[in-house]
A and B are shown apart, each in its own frame.
Chain A
């Protein structure tokens, strides 16, 4: 009985120390999440203004708004960008993103995969590890795996520039991004989004009317302005994918660690009851041994 008592005590200590770690990780994630969210908020006014300008131009443009990035062609070469986190311990977050990417590769673009025309560009170590192992038949670009270390706009823009360049030179015909869309700390969605070609743009209702009054001078003309504007919008969009995934990662980890801390609490509770029961049993049996011994002595 004594050994059992010691075992239980040791387990309680070990669970408690694990709980301390998960609690600390949760708090670290919460702090990082706040920073990641701030980064999203900082990008938002910029992105909004860009879109605003785009609507202005489209609203004043006669005829079709066509851009080289908007033209869909027959899909031969596919590039899949998988944005995952660098570290684990964040619940099903990475698994879900990878699943979304795998669905793209194995269902939507299975024909292109069979022809060996799928390129996977991984951002974040977790996705890279998975796809290197399970999809070695696809081409890999792995020089951007560690981009999370520096999420500044210029740094991220080199990836999106490369993707856009590849698209306009017709090395790739479609670019899809699998990433974790951030909603709030508790909710993230693993999503696949078509980055290129750009889905046809529509002028938002309402926004058009306000701008019709303003007689804008466009410099250079609208078409060339669009050619300048759209790459910037795409870069901003790409930046958003990464910032979202970054925030989602920390959100997911925070939730996972919160659950883990709770579970540890439950475990400790159960173990404590077990420990007390064992202790009581030991005392009871010791007592009855003494009483029994005394009775035997008296009888003699």
Chain B
């Protein structure tokens, strides 16, 4: 599935991934392939991405939003610290 991670200042990552773990407002959750369509607010916490090649990438965020629709993920984050 595809993801684009955007912050207001720049685009952080764009590409194929196998999973992403985010700190949702209702608790941490993981998005895998064929996840149901969801829009969620994110709270302060860590985002963990497993890229298509198996490498991991993680960073802390202040807040943000995630939208998943048909294996297309938009992750909007604020206050990113790598």
Residues of A whose CB lies within 8 Å of any CB of B are 42-43, 45-47, 49-50, 52-53, 56-57, 152-154, 157, 214-220, 224-225, 228-229, 232, 235-236, 239
- Report the separation of the CA atoms of residues A257 and B37 in the bound assembly, to the nearest whole angstrom: 53
Given the contacts A50-B76, A219-B25, A229 and B65 also touching, CB distance less than 8 Å: yes
Which of B6, B39, B69, B79 meets A46, CB within 8 Å?
A: B6
Chain B residue nearest to A45 in the complex (CB): B6
Q: Give the A-B contact count at a CB cut-off of 8 A.
A: 83
Given the contacts A45-B6, A46-B8, A236-B8, A228 and B67 also touching, CB distance less than 8 Å: no
B11 touches A42 (CB 8 A): yes
A49 touches B74 (CB 8 A): yes
- Which range holds the interface residue count of chain B? 20 to 34
**CB-defined contacts of B38 to chain A, threshold 8 Å:** 216-219
A49 touches B26 (CB 8 A): no
Which of B4, B9, B65 meets A152, CB within 8 Å?
A: B9
Interface centre among A45, A215, A220 (most CB of B within 10 A): A45
B24 touches A219 (CB 8 A): yes
- Report the separation of the CA atoms of residues A229 and B63 in the bound assembly, to the nearest whole angstrom: 10
Tell me if B19 counts as interface (CB < 8 A to partner A): no
Q: Jot down 30 A-B pairs with beta carbons below 8 A, ordered by A.
A: A42-B10, A43-B8, A45-B6, A46-B6, A47-B8, A49-B67, A49-B76, A50-B76, A53-B39, A56-B39, A56-B67, A153-B9, A154-B79, A157-B78, A215-B37, A216-B37, A216-B69, A217-B38, A217-B39, A217-B40, A219-B26, A219-B38, A220-B25, A225-B41, A228-B63, A229-B41, A232-B78, A235-B8, A236-B8, A239-B8
Tell me if B57 counts as interface (CB < 8 A to partner A): no
Which of B4, B6, B40, B63 meets A218, CB within 8 Å?
A: B40
Which of B9, B10, B39, B76 meets A216, CB within 8 Å?
A: B39
**CB-defined contacts of A53 to chain B, threshold 8 Å:** 39, 65, 67, 74, 76
Chain B residue nearest to A156 in the complex (CB): B8
Extra contacts, 5 of them, besides A45-B6, A56-B39, A232-B65 (Cβ < 8 A), are: A46-B7, A52-B74, A152-B9, A217-B38, A236-B8
